[in-house]
Amino acid sequence: MVAVLQQQYQDGLSQEIALSTASLTTGQNAFYVSLLNNTAGNMEIPNSLSLPSMTPDRLQSEMEERMPGVEMETSLVYVQNRFGPFGFATGRSSAGDLCLYAWQRIEPGEPAIFVPGGAVSVRLRLCDADASVDQLLRVFYGYTIAAYYRQESWNPYGDPPSPPAHFGEKDAPMYPLGLGSGESATVVHRRSLSEETRRVAPSVQAPRRTIDKDTIEPPAAAPPEAAPPSGYPVVPPPPAQ
C-alpha cells in the first residue's frame, strides 16, 4: 500500500487504496472501497453515497475505465472469501501483464426494515508482470476490513455463523493445527472459530476385543529366543534344578 485517498459523505465514505505496481499496463493497482452507513439513505440528499447494483454492464464499464485496452473475461467459477462470494475477471494486456479485476458487496442476507444497517463495496484492480491468476486472487482472499461505524445498526456481515459441529460436546476432542491423534478428531483453526473445521481421517487401529469379566486370559506366550549369531560358540543352558 502506497497511498490512501478518502472522500467523506453524509452517509458513508469511499477510499481508493493505491498499491505498488510492477507492470507496464496503464493505470494504478488499487482497492476501491465504499462503506455505506445507512442502506435506506435518500439519494436526493446532497453529498450522499451511492452503491449501485453490480450488473454486468456496470462492471464492464468499471473495467474499461480502470484497465483501458485490456480484454477482460469474467470467470464462471464460484469463489468466496471470509466475507462471502465474490466475482472476478482476468485478462492479458498488450504489454504482457496479467490483470485481475475482482468485485464484492458485503451486506446482510436479509435487509433490515426498522433499523437500516450498512453495506460495504469492494473492488480490486491488480496487474502484474510475473504473477499467476492464483497469486493475484490470493490478494482478494487475504484482505481484511478494519473500519466500522460506532452504532449497533451498522452490521453488513449479518448474524455470526454457527460454531463448528460437535463444539462443546463430549467424546469430540479438538486439537490445534499440527497436533495429531489416533482417533477421529476435529481440528480447529487458531485464527477464528467462525472458519470451517476440517475432519482428520482416523488412523488404522487394531480391532477391539470383548472380554467377559469372569474369563481369565492365559498369559501371553514368551517370544521365541533369537538364534545365536554364526561364528560364536553355543553356551549350553544351566542344568535343571
Domain match, 103 and 60 both: yes
Q: What is the mean pLDDT of the chain?
A: 76
| pLDDT at 202 exceeding the cut of 60 | no
Is the separation of the CB atoms in 63 and 79 below 8 Å? Answer: no
Domain membership of residue 223 (yes or no) is no
Domain boundaries, position 174: 161-200
- Residue-wise pLDDT for 229-241, tens only, equals 555 455 556 665 5
Among candidates 179, 178, 93, which has minimal Cα distance to 136?
Answer: 93
- Residue-wise pLDDT for 122-142, tens only, equals 999 999 999 999 999 999 999
The whole-angstrom separation of Cα 69 and Cα 25 is 9
**What count of other Cβ atoms lies within 10 Å of the Cβ of residue 23?**
19
Domain match, 166 and 79 both: no
Domain match, 127 and 54 both: yes
Q: How many helices (H) and strands (E) does the chain have?
A: 2, 11
Please state the pTM of the whole predicted model. 0.66
Q: Report pLDDT for 126.
A: 96
| pLDDT at 109 exceeding the cut of 80 | no
Burial class (CB in 10 A: 0-12, 13-18, 19+), 191: exposed
Domain membership of residue 123 (yes or no) is yes
| pLDDT at 177 exceeding the cut of 50 | yes
Q: Report pLDDT for 45.
A: 65
| pLDDT at 121 exceeding the cut of 60 | yes
Residue 92 phi/psi, 5-degree rounding, is -115, 125
Domain match, 120 and 183 both: no
Domain match, 112 and 184 both: no
